[in-house]
Structure 1
Amino acid sequence: MTGFPKKRLGQNFLIDPNILRKIIAVISPKPEDIIVEIGSGRGALTDLLVQSGSEIHAIEIDKDLIPELQMKFGSFPNFHLWNDDALKFDLSSLSKPNSRLRIVGNIPYDITSPLIFKIFDNIAIVQDVTFLVQKEIARRITASPNSKDYGILSVLCNYFTIPKLEFIVSPHVFRPAPKVFSAVITLAIRQIDSDLEFRKMLIKTVKTAFNQRRKILSNALGIMLKERGTDDCPIDLNRRAEMLTVDEFMDLSQWFMRRESKPFSL
């Protein structure tokens, strides 16, 4: 039915005007901004974004919500509506010279990690991110080494961005109300000097290390180490992935890249 949240799409519509205003204050949209809103829902946040004068691109996968969004905002010249899957949408089609994208949205749990990785793939055209996500994910993104929440998202978000947990959001401000608390996070994109091949190696190293997070690195990275040997490794391989800082993962990834072109004997 039109306008009703769909469980299969992870829809929980934000309805509290005070929280909406707080999110807008965090985003601080400017008329010269290009803002991509992921999952516009019934347009509660969209309304405030459109009023800012920014160029708004609303991506909504639910075709039943498109007529309502078009009726509410279709007359605004700065509003553009896309009935599409954000994970498949070509973000580069919206970028302009000297104007990077600002990505915002109330993000369903199931697509939060894939969406963040999609942003990493488009890092050169993104300025920043403001997401409303489950509190659990916000804690993972902002976690420090040697904590239970520290993992793949923690390392990679801290490499590509400067993450910040802005504020916690109660379940009671959504319809339907979820069973868990949420949080607003911001990701300010870092100016990364590394090339694409290094970024691919870093992602592979981090994912492989944490896929067996309770094992020491010599075991967790077994396949990668077997291909390259272990001599001159800058990291103590008797440590676990959760103990390494972002810089240490960078050192390990650079070592892997050097070893790819260097012959070794087992």
Structure 2
Amino acid sequence: MASRPPIHRARKRFGQNFLRDPGVIARIVRAIGPREGDRLVEIGPGQGALTEPLVEAAGGRLEVIELDRDLIPGLRVQFFNYPNVVIHEGDALKVDYRFLRGEGPALRVVGNLPYNISTPLLVRLLEAGDAVADMHFMLQKEVVDRLAAVPSSTDWGRLSVLAQYHCRVESLFTVSPAAFVPRPKIDSAIVRLTPYAALPHPAHDEALLFDVVRQAFGQRRKTLRNNLKGRIDAAALEALDIEPGRRPQTLTVEEFVRIANHLVETVTGETS
């Protein structure tokens, strides 16, 4: 059993809300399903409420990344007798996750993420490719709803396409504000993201794909004909079996990839 951390006042600038409910913690650990030999990375361990049951369940190496330097001494005391817990003081947005993996197994990344870093951190982790085996995050419920949305729903947008191009996304369960100290004003949710071993709809140029997605969602109420004007015309969209009068939130990941690949093929002559 680890030592208990000293009391720490949550800091608004770090978006800190410390998970306290043991039932929710146990449910999260069951959802993650840590196994012996896993290489776990926890982002924002806070006061170690999730860290301890994770390392007890897995028994493998667990690396934690904490930005708040005032929490580091408490974590070092709490996990003094756990040589397989490695504590990093730093910004998770600046970590090189490929380097962190090294020659070991792919990383299983977990964390309770504040709203302000959730999207850029997901992008960074997705860019790490096969260095990441899966991700389990607690996020604002509205962010999880966007990640796991389906086409033609109100939540379907740029973040949905970005995540689902790379990963299978599963919204697991909602967490009440009562599970935290201090209580946030909104519900949270747990999401699982599992990167595809082979992309179901590979893009010739991923940067171009996400630029097309960005442009398409620039004005959600306008049609593709208008939002993609100057990049692809109505006749080309029709040739791709995509109605130019559709709105961007009705398109699937595969249809966005179809548009982006057509643009590459138009310039280079490359074919699928």
Same fold (TM over 0.5): yes
How far did 1:125 drift? 0.9
Q: Distance in 1 between matches of 2:235 and 2:267?
A: 13
How far did 1:2 drift? 6.7
Counterparts of 1:22-61 in structure 2, within 5 Å, are 22-52=27-57, 53-61=59-67
Q: Distance in 2 between matches of 1:197 and 1:32?
A: 36
For residue 260 of structure 2, give the secondary structure of its aligned residue in structure 1.
helix
For residue 41 of structure 2, give the secondary structure of its aligned residue in structure 1.
strand
Q: Distance in 2 between matches of 1:223 and 1:57?
A: 47
**Which residue of structure 2 lines up, in the alignment, with residue 17 of structure 1?**
22
Q: Distance in 2 between matches of 1:192 and 1:204?
A: 22
Residue 165 of structure 2 corresponds to residue 153 of structure 1: no
**Which residue of structure 2 lines up, in the alignment, with residue 211 of structure 1?**
218
The 8 Å contact of residues 2 and 64 in structure 1, kept in 2 or not, is answered as no
Q: Tell me which of 115, 121, 140 is aligned to 1:115.
A: 121
Q: Distance in 2 between matches of 1:21 and 1:123?
A: 29
Q: Distance in 1 between matches of 2:48 and 2:192?
A: 21
User: Structure 2 unaligned runs (5+)?
Assistant: 1-5
Counterparts of 1:72-221 in structure 2, within 5 Å, are 72-97=78-103, 99-193=105-199, 198-221=205-228
How far did 1:197 drift? 5.4
How far did 1:203 drift? 1.6
Aligned residues: 259
TM-score after normalising by structure 2: 0.90
Q: Distance in 2 between matches of 1:199 and 1:80?
A: 34
Q: Distance in 1 between matches of 2:104 and 2:61?
A: 15
One-letter code aligned to 2:52:
D
How far did 1:254 drift? 0.8
Q: Distance in 2 between matches of 1:116 and 1:176?
A: 25
How far did 1:31 drift? 2.1
Q: Distance in 2 between matches of 1:126 and 1:207?
A: 25
One-letter code aligned to 1:131:
F
Residue 255 of structure 2 corresponds to residue 232 of structure 1: no
The 8 Å contact of residues 210 and 220 in structure 1, kept in 2 or not, is answered as yes
Larger displacement relative to structure 2 (69-78 or 99-108): 69-78
How far did 1:209 drift? 1.1
Q: Distance in 2 between matches of 1:221 and 1:55?
A: 47
**Which residue of structure 1 lines up, in the alignment, with residue 259 of structure 2?**
252
**Which residue of structure 2 lines up, in the alignment, with residue 62 of structure 1?**
68
User: Structure 1 unaligned runs (5+)?
Assistant: none
**Which residue of structure 1 lines up, in the alignment, with residue 10 of structure 2?**
5
Render the CA deviation track for 1:134-176: whole Å, top value 9, x for unaligned: 1101111111111111101111211111111111100001011
Q: Distance in 1 between matches of 2:93 and 2:228?
A: 29
The 8 Å contact of residues 225 and 244 in structure 2, kept in 1 or not, is answered as yes
The 8 Å contact of residues 15 and 175 in structure 1, kept in 2 or not, is answered as yes
The 8 Å contact of residues 171 and 191 in structure 2, kept in 1 or not, is answered as yes
The 8 Å contact of residues 2 and 65 in structure 1, kept in 2 or not, is answered as no
How far did 1:213 drift? 1.6
TM-score after normalising by structure 1: 0.91
Q: Distance in 2 between matches of 1:67 and 1:2?
A: 12
Q: Taking structure 1 as reference, are residues 218 and 19 closer, same or farther at Cα in structure 2, changes over 3 Å only?
A: same
How far did 1:85 drift? 0.6
Render the CA deviation track for 1:212-233: whole Å, top value 9, x for unaligned: 22211122123433xxx66533
